[in-house]
Amino acid sequence: MKVWSKGLGKIELIFDFDGYYVEREDTEEGEQIYIKGVIKDPVVWDFRITMTEEDIPGLLMIALDKEVLRMFLKNPKSSITSSIKNILKQASAILEGSSSAKEIEAGKNGKSPDKTGGT
């Protein structure tokens, strides 16, 4: 992903989300999610993007935009369809209240987890 701002002049920052990670924190203002990493091109900068609950609707509107989805589905360089299926399974499990890592992993493997810890 390329990021440009008028303040950067002709410079475009290159974001490579494959190398970034997510952290969660509860604060007085509510839950915050941090996307952290290092921009390596054309400069080397540590960065942190802070997301709050209020950001989710706008983020989803962008992610689910027909042009963005079309780009994902047309991308021959990756197994994007498989990735989307895994993401949708995880989202479904979270929405159904099965948010533990064990339950989500069991769902990925086609197992039907129960609430007693067995499968």
pTM of the complete model: 0.55
Tokens 């987890």 locate to 113
Q: What pLDDT sits at residue 98?
A: 56
Q: At what angle do helices 66-74 and 80-95 cross, to 10 degrees?
A: 130
CA-wise closest residue to 78 among 21, 18, 35: 18
Q: What pLDDT sits at residue 114?
A: 47
* Per-residue pLDDT of the chain in tens (119 residues, 90 and over written 9): 888 889 888 888 888 877 888 998 888 888 888 999 998 888 888 999 998 888 989 988 998 899 988 887 777 666 666 677 777 778 777 777 755 445 545 555 555 444 444 44
